[in-house]
Chain A
Amino acid sequence: MLTTIHRFTPPTCTLEIKGKKSPISQWTDQDVLKKMQFKLSFDDPRLPSSQQVLLKGDRYDLESLKISVDRYMQSFLHNSLALNINIKNNYHTASNEPYLQPKGLTNHELFFGAISHDNQENKTTLTTVQLFDLVTALEAYGTHISALPQLQAKSKKVVPLWGGIAAVAIAAIGTTVLLKSSPVPNIAVSPESKPADTSQFDNVVPPDAAPQSSKRTPKPTINESLSSTNKLPPPPAVDAPKPKPDIPDPADYPLSQVARQSGLQQSREKSPVAKIPASTPQSETKTKPEQEELAADNSSISSSSETDIADSNNNLALKDAPSTNQLKEIKAYFQEQWQPPADLKQSLEYRLYINDDGSIKRVVSIGKASELYLSKTNIPVKGEAFISPRNESQQSTIRLLLNPDGGVKTFAE
């Protein structure tokens, strides 16, 4: 599986996402990544580098951050429509979750929660413009990337199908959180499998990943803080929650031609586009035409690249190609059955374990909202006939996404 790096670079922050691109990406509009890791750097050039803050973490951390930002924005914008200024909001949720609160008219304090960072304090202050850039980067991430939960990552709850069994916490499994220190060789530009109107996000990654990352991430410091970080003992029965914000799921809708102006285009470039030396024949054919195109591209938005490294340790590769018939059946079933409740604002996500006879063995709710609304989803949880019996080549695990507007998506896992 190819390792992919996406980089979103509004002027005052940089969000870098690294992960293994799942083959099912070809059936979705987003890059579906496994083992996703991110680095978020608040690197406003007007700030001295000692004041620039770096956050690092996995999919769960980034989703938490995105949710907290979305929640804050919703509250903030709602308040801005009203004359009465001091509406007290409860910004603080669970103690380990990140959150924001206003500081005066134009500043916002971001508390990191349990996310790893290199700052003295567990918070930083963002100006409104910096917050806007953060929102922009997170939106671009949400639009372009779908990260799958790690099979062995920390998670919240499992809801077994056979009732009466409490949530089980499974012992911590070492996670490979640390980014590899060696530079990533053989960086190739991602092939244009993405729709044309996302090309503004594709930039060439500078070839020297090592110097770049060492400039931005003092390694010893990062290593220390990460190793000393007390991550919550994760139970991974499987899922990191993927609670969705109240905003309709961007995954449902392709970017349209109408909506092309990007909030990320700035005249001031942060990371100058550099030429990639093509180091393998395969990457050479891909990079040359892309290089010329992209070198001319002034956009300082995101960059994305893929490596050709054969990953011999990759045991997450799907053994079987997902069966589209099976996915279609499931999708069709739920398109008929799914009646979103009027008060539902978030997408619901479930992992379905399918028996050989096509009935559902187990349902795992991903995220709080999914747990709450499980009974409303019409998922046949009592072993009723569901889809055609599973043949050997078919998946036994399916991820189901139910949207508040009635949309249904299915993925093989």
Chain B
Amino acid sequence: MPTPSNINSNNPTINSSRWQDLSQSKLTNDSQLKNIKSHLDLVLLALEAIADISSEAIIEAAKDLNLESVLGDRITLWRLRASNPQRKSSGGRKKLDVEEARSLVLIICHLANKHQELLRRAVSLLEQATEQNNAPHQTSLLGNYLDNFINYYQERIANSSDISADDISNLAWKLLISLLFYSGQNGHRLLWIAIFDAAEK
């Protein structure tokens, strides 16, 4: 499996099977990478909205997975974001490359897995509300999630005012459900394939 020469081959994560699972055989062009980045941002946004995850937690996860060397600058950018929450740019000045995409996938799934009980509970509540024809956001867990999601979405995503409240809500629920699947043992593969598929369309 080819790896960039600047990656430390003694890095346990780089050698881990999960890293290897995220095959690079489908090489990506710029526009695909851009799509991948925006999809990853969305998934991360949803995760932050449900699990109240701070930039610090993301940095911690990167450390736990020994991905600091890969993410390098991006960690610095996250630190900046942590110190200035109003910051509009989500670290987009530097182009996301494939290694960073792999790292983000692992981090997101690692964090989702950590919060799996919460995700399971949230999805159960969503199921119940749907069965009973109630508005999901009437439960406090889901209400908070939706509020957070909408706020973050409007803060960070360009052209967010063009989108209806209903559409954003729907997106929020679908992403919440997806997070449950990303929290599983093979979540990283599911997420990797999903964003690649989406990037190609």
Contact = CB atoms under 8 A, between A and B. Distances in A.
Contact of B1 (A81, A140, A256, A405): A405
A144 to B, nearest CB: 11
A340 B16 CA distance: 23
B75 interface: no
**Residue in A80, A104, A247, A257 with the greatest tally of chain B CB atoms within 10 Å:** A80
Contacts of A140: 185
Nearest to A104: B130
Interface in B88-132: 113-114, 116, 120, 123-124, 126-127, 130-131
B151 interface: no
A259 B193 CA distance: 18
Interface in B58-77: 65
Contacts of B185: 136, 139-140, 143, 259, 261-264
A105 B181 contact: no
Contacts of B12: 257-258
A45 interface: no
Contacts of B188: 259
For A78, A247, A405, A406, the residue with the greatest tally of chain B CB atoms inside 10 Å of its CB is A78
A318 B139 CA distance: 60
Contacts of A259: 16-18, 185, 188
Contact of B183 (A85, A127, A263): A263
A226 B120 CA distance: 36
Given A139-B184, A259-B185, A82 B198 contact: yes
Given A139-B185, A261-B114, A263-B116, A254 B17 contact: yes
Contacts of B186: 139, 143, 247, 250
B25 A405 contact: yes
Given A139-B184, A250-B186, A105 B197 contact: no
Interface string A231-268: 00000000000000011101001111111011110000
B123 A261 contact: no
A200 B20 CA distance: 23
A165 interface: no
A127 B127 contact: yes
B158 interface: no
Contact of B126 (A106, A247, A257, A261): A106
B30 interface: no
Interface residues of A, number: 43
B42 A81 contact: yes
Secondary structure at the B interface, as helix, strand, loop or mixed, is helix
B170 interface: yes
B194 interface: yes
Nearest to B17: A253
A263 B179 CA distance: 12
A106 B184 CA distance: 18
B194 A77 contact: yes
A406 B23 CA distance: 10
Contacts of B39: 81
B199 to A, nearest CB: 10
A253 B131 CA distance: 40
Contact of B123 (A79, A128, A143): A128
A83 interface: yes
Q: Is the interface of A mostly helix, strand, loop or mixed?
A: loop
Contacts of A405: 1, 23, 25
Nearest to B127: A106
Contacts of B127: 106-107, 127-129
Contacts of B194: 74, 77-78, 80-81
Nearest to B23: A405
B23 A81 contact: no
Interface string A71-92: 0011001111111010000000
Contact of A248 (B174, B178, B189): B189
Interface string A364-377: 00000000000000
Contacts of B123: 106, 128-129, 132
A132 B167 CA distance: 24
Contacts of B187: 263
Contacts of A81: 39, 42-43, 175, 178, 194-195, 198
A342 interface: yes
Contacts of A129: 120, 123-124, 127, 180
B17 A340 contact: no
A106 B130 contact: yes
Interface in B15-35: 16-18, 20-21, 23, 25-26
A255 B180 CA distance: 21
B177 interface: yes
A73 B194 CA distance: 9
B144 interface: no
Given A77-B194, A80-B175, A106-B123, A255 B25 contact: no
Given A81-B43, A105-B177, 6 more contacts: A79-B174, A106-B177, A135-B181, A247-B190, A255-B17, A261-B113
16 contacts: A73-B190, A77-B191, A83-B163, A83-B167, A105-B126, A106-B123, A106-B126, A127-B124, A128-B177, A129-B120, A129-B123, A132-B181, A247-B193, A248-B21, A258-B12, A405-B1
Interface of B: 1, 12-13, 16-18, 20-21, 23, 25-26, 39, 42-43, 65, 113-114, 116, 120, 123-124, 126-127, 130-131, 163, 167, 170-171, 173-175, 177-178, 180-181, 183-191, 193-195, 197-198, 201
